[in-house]
Structure 1
Amino acid sequence: MEMVFFNGWGSVLRILIIGLLAYATLILFLRLSGNRTLSKMNAFDLIVTVALGSTLATVLLSKNVVLADGAVALALLISLQFIITWTSVRFRWVRRLVTGEPLMLLYQGEFLLTSLRKARVTQDEVLSAIRSSGLSDVADVEAVVIETDGSLSVVKRHAESSHSSLEGVRGPR
């Protein structure tokens, strides 16, 4: 019968040593790459964070992956993240490709049905976001926007409506 609970101290010792070294390597790479690497500003950032965790787990648990290979994989993911974010800050078309654009779902009390369908968001979800923002009446809302990270932002209506807070938000097309 195969041992499923304990395979010997050798594998435990390997995980401890490789785990410490791989973790230290990841921390070093993250410090060198800057704060943006682990931000969750959009879906792309989330994917990189998950990929880094998956890579670290593979290095820890797979005897077929040596520390050097894992370090190269971590460095590659972080480098690609850096390159994509660097270019997206400088080129709008890259930013749109990687992160998309915010999309207006409600404007001055009117649901924008085309935008709701495109974003796959229901009117009930928009109403829930309005309530979560402390408002109870759609008439008190200037707009609801789905951001590039998937969150819903509620822009409150003021007596004298200002559209500057909606700059860069795409309406229905």
Structure 2
Amino acid sequence: MSEFHRLLIEQLNIEPWRIPVVVLSGIGAYCGFLLLVKLFGVRVLAKMTAFDAVVIVMYGAVAGRVIIGHPPTLAAGIVGLLTLMLIEAVFGEVRKIAGVRRAFDSRPQVVFVHGKIIEEQLRKTHLSKSDVRLAIRRASIPSFEQVQCIILEPTGDLSVFREGQPIDPNLLRGVAGVDLLYP
């Protein structure tokens, strides 16, 4: 066998003992990422600044390196990706169970009401005042006083409601802090 063929096989192959290591590393990285998102809030995943994007790319690089291990091979990469895809599929099915969904998904949160930022909610949700101002500008609302409320959604998006427009109570079901809307 030529040196080229030996190197090619070495780069494409994976030793059988490494397969469970890659799978367990993938599961660990996935669970670690879920924990970090839970600790730091969904805001880290939505409407990213350049700094946020750098952090996410760095996380991906670190996680990829941890999952694939040394030496990185195509087979290890495929096993790692397959593991992550399977975990995501299983987790997607498990999340359909109400108790599990509540444990992992954050509730929508009122962060701004009747022209005023709710400072405590900003701290809890890891939002900044500039995030709130950006959401108001994107909604083409020219002043704080014209905002009835802003809700941080579980996706990290901000929903903005104008003052003077009635909000269907069904839209507010399950929203934390909704009582602040009705003094």
TM-score higher than 0.5: yes
Structure 2, unpaired ranges of 5+: 13-36, 46-55
Q: What amino acid does structure 1 have at the position aligned with 2:85?
A: I
C-alpha distance in structure 2 between counterparts of 1:103 and 1:149, whole Å: 11
Matched, 1:170 2:171: no
For 2:61 and 2:90, how far apart are their aligned partners in 1?
A: 16
1:97 to 85, 93, 103: 103
- Kept in 2, the 8 Å contact 1:52–1:74? The answer is no
Matched, 1:120 2:126: yes
* Alignment match of 1:149 (pick from 142, 152, 155): 155
Equivalent pair of 1:109/1:139 in contact (CA under 8 Å): yes
8 Å CA contact 2:148–2:162 kept in 1: the answer is yes
Q: What is the alpha-carbon distance in structure 1 between the residues aligned to residue 108 and residue 96 of structure 2? A: 16
Contact 1:52 1:77 in 2 (8 A): no
Q: 2:88 aligns with which of 68, 81, 88?
A: 81
Residue 89 of structure 1 contacts residue 95 of structure 1 at CA under 8 Å; is this kept in 2? yes
SS at match of 2:112: strand
CA separation of 1:135 and 1:150: change in aligned 2, threshold 3 A: same
Q: Which residue identity does 2:120 align to in structure 1?
A: T
In 2, the alpha carbon distance for the partners of 1:155 and 1:123 equals: 17
Once superposed, which parts of structure 1, at least 4 consecutive aligned residues long, lie more than 6 Å away?
Answer: 44-47
Distance in 2 of aligned mates of 1:64 and 1:122: 42
Q: What's the offset of the Cα at 1:66?
A: 4.1
Which amino acid counterpart does residue 136 of structure 2 have in structure 1? I
Contact 1:105-1:143 at 8 Å conserved across structures:
yes
Query: 1:64 & 1:82 partners in 2: Cα distance?
Result: 28
Local SS of the residue matching 1:101: coil
Alpha-carbon distance change, 52 to 161 in structure 1, aligned in 2, over 3 angstroms: same
Tell me the residue number matched to 1:72: 79
Label 1:110 to 1:54 Cα distance change in 2 as closer, same or farther (>3 A). closer
Distance 1:75 1:53, change over 3 A: farther
Offset, 1:158: 4.2
Q: Distance in 2 between matches of 1:55 and 1:169?
A: 36
**Aligned CA distance change for structure 1 residues 86 and 77 (closer, same or farther; 3 Å):** same
Quick one: distance in 1 between partners of 2:137 and 2:126?
20
Aligned residue pairs, count: 134
